[in-house]
Chain A
Amino acid sequence: MIIYLTVVLMFSFTIMNFTNTILYNSIDQRFYSSLKSTAENSIAYDGDILYFDKYILNQKINKLLKYELIDIVSNKYYLYINYFYGDGTVCTYRCKMVNIRLKVVISSTATYDKAYSLTIV
């Protein structure tokens, strides 16, 4: 009986782990593949330098999540967007570097949590 329960438990954990990994990779693939073009479409130009338009980028990331991750069953999405200058100090205006962190609670045991850094070069 104990052996049977252990096997069932292990099997369940494996299945859950497998499902979580698939979900994790799916979120990552979909988020990553659209993130670059989303950031590119949020770039503004003032005749002098290219920079990320904060308002547009925030809007577009929201749209990206809406269209790409709508089928991910989770009501816990956390998004952190931080802008930097080239030297790593916090940027307030005409920023060329952005750090985007997305955290999605997939299940009670798994959370997608990854950050990407995008830089205009």
Chain B
Amino acid sequence: MLKKSLTLALALLNLLPSSKPNRFKDIFITPISDKQYISFSFIVNNPCDTEFKIYVETPGCQDTYLYRNKVYILLNFSDQFLLPKEIIFDNSCLIFMAKSNTSSSFLRFDLKVQNPLYNLNEYTTFTMEDALQYLDDRETIHYAQETLNFNNLANNLVLSRPFLPFSHISITQESNFYMDYLTFDEIVMRILDKENLFSLFKHKNNYVDIRLELEKIGQNYKLSLLDKLYVHNEKLLLSSQPKEGFVRTNYIYLPKNCTKRLFKIEIQFKNLGIQKINCKYDYNIEIKEKYFGSCSTAKHCVQIEESLNLSEKNKVEVFL
């Protein structure tokens, strides 16, 4: 009797419209980046006695499957699966299916693949109307738009400073989906250094790589150093490792004895924003005059003159 009552109660619970059995939630689909495997995660309600299937259809969603898999959700209500990048093409469809005796769900997402490496010297604005596809609690797919704007991109900078600038670039993100931070996988500043001015850094094909990150200032994002850098106060020599005589710095200094005037810089952005943009920005920096040196060629110098001040204060011991 007790067993029958319990079965009846459970059956009634399952029939209540508010319980929304076998439904997916927390699925967020963004463009596919250049990773080897792509991970999708999701959460389901009431997974008992339900069969879950995941498909990837050919571009155009023509019922030809590139990938098919059954998912078994036992105790956990959430799961994730990995897809090899090779089977995903631009405009492929990702299908989530759930089927039980009482209900079924069918969700179809369009997949975007971000292949090109954009050149910021040519394009400075990137807009995607369906950059993000996500589910609400009623299992409806919504589309979020994203626009990324790169500002202050100059191809040539003429300066009189003893360091290489990168924080002049600013990025703005506009989206109808709330994001508290502009995401990225990696931002690298690459400095061509054939002269070995950054002698304490590892060089790869004559390039020194320094990792950067994004810092939110008001509505804009600026670049700042992710790698910790240390500078020798006297020689202005830069190091990525703390050493005796070196202090932390937020600048990419040029050594004091540097005579090089023209620097080629490249900044690479990997999987930036919801759109997962891959782009690079090349620029030249011309150091107009030496920051410190002789008074005829440098911005700053030491002037020496005979003094009448024969004070006997602050005697310094002489060791000969």
Q: A27 in the interface, Cβ–Cβ < 8 Å?
A: no
Cβ of A39 and Cβ of B304 under 8 Å apart? Answer: yes
Q: B122 in the interface, Cβ–Cβ < 8 Å?
A: no
Residues of A with C-beta under 8 A to B311: 80, 82, 99, 101
CA distance A50 to B293 in the complex (A): 12
Q: A20 in the interface, Cβ–Cβ < 8 Å?
A: no
Selected interface stretch from A1-9, A10-18, A57-65: A57-65
Selected interface stretch from B42-50, B180-188, B294-302: B294-302
Selected interface stretch from B81-89, B132-140, B312-320: B312-320
Query: Which of B301, B306, B309, B313 has the most A CB atoms < 10 Å from its CB?
Result: B309
CA distance A120 to B190 in the complex (A): 33
Q: B310 in the interface, Cβ–Cβ < 8 Å?
A: yes
Cβ of B316 and Cβ of A115 under 8 Å apart? Answer: no
Q: How many A-B residue pairs have CB under 8 A?
A: 101
Closest to A65 in B: B318
Cβ of A117 and Cβ of B307 under 8 Å apart? Answer: yes
Q: B251 in the interface, Cβ–Cβ < 8 Å?
A: yes
Residues of A with C-beta under 8 A to B318: 62, 65, 77-79
Q: B155 in the interface, Cβ–Cβ < 8 Å?
A: no
Q: A114 in the interface, Cβ–Cβ < 8 Å?
A: yes
Q: B78 in the interface, Cβ–Cβ < 8 Å?
A: no
Q: How many residues of A contact B (CB 8 A)?
A: 39
Cβ of B304 and Cβ of A77 under 8 Å apart? Answer: no
User: Within residues 28 to 52 of chain A, which ones have a CB less than 8 A from any CB in chain B?
Assistant: 32, 35-36, 39-47, 50
CA distance A65 to B84 in the complex (A): 71
**Contact A40/B292 with A119-B302, A121-B301 known, Cβ cut-off 8 Å:** yes
Cβ of A81 and Cβ of B314 under 8 Å apart? Answer: yes
Instruction: Give A100-120 as 1s and 0s: 1 = Cβ < 8 Å from B's Cβ atoms.
Output: 010000000000011111111
Residues of B with C-beta under 8 A to A40: 292-293, 301-302
CA distance A115 to B292 in the complex (A): 24
Q: A23 in the interface, Cβ–Cβ < 8 Å?
A: no
User: Given A45, A78, A116, A120, which contacts B306 in the complex, CB threshold below 8 Å?
Assistant: A116
CA distance A35 to B316 in the complex (A): 16
Residues of B with C-beta under 8 A to A43: 234, 292, 302
Closest to A100 in B: B307
Residues of B with C-beta under 8 A to A50: 292, 300
Q: B305 in the interface, Cβ–Cβ < 8 Å?
A: yes
Closest to A28 in B: B306
Cβ of B320 and Cβ of A36 under 8 Å apart? Answer: no
Residues of A with C-beta under 8 A to B305: 116-117
Residues of A with C-beta under 8 A to B312: 78, 80, 101
Question: B272 → chain A, closest Cβ, in Å?
Answer: 28
Q: B236 in the interface, Cβ–Cβ < 8 Å?
A: yes
Cβ of B302 and Cβ of A118 under 8 Å apart? Answer: yes
CA distance A61 to B295 in the complex (A): 22
Cβ of A77 and Cβ of B320 under 8 Å apart? Answer: yes
Q: B233 in the interface, Cβ–Cβ < 8 Å?
A: yes
Question: A43 → chain B, closest Cβ, in Å?
Answer: 7
Cβ of A44 and Cβ of B309 under 8 Å apart? Answer: no
Query: Which of B300, B306, B312, B318 has the most A CB atoms < 10 Å from its CB?
Result: B318
Residues of A with C-beta under 8 A to B236: 45
Residues of B with C-beta under 8 A to A62: 316, 318-319
CA distance A34 to B67 in the complex (A): 77
Closest to A38 in B: B302
User: Given A46, A69, A101, which contacts B309 in the complex, CB threshold below 8 Å?
Assistant: A101
Cβ of A42 and Cβ of B295 under 8 Å apart? Answer: no
Given A36-B304, A80-B311, 12 new contacts (CB under 8 A): A39-B304, A40-B301, A43-B292, A44-B233, A47-B250, A53-B233, A61-B316, A62-B316, A79-B315, A79-B317, A99-B311, A118-B303
A-B contact pairs, 14 of them (CB 8 A): A40-B292, A40-B301, A44-B233, A44-B234, A53-B234, A65-B318, A80-B315, A81-B316, A115-B306, A115-B308, A116-B304, A116-B306, A116-B307, A118-B304
Closest 4 pairs between A and B when the two form their complex, measured CB to CB: A117-B307, A115-B307, A44-B233, A77-B318
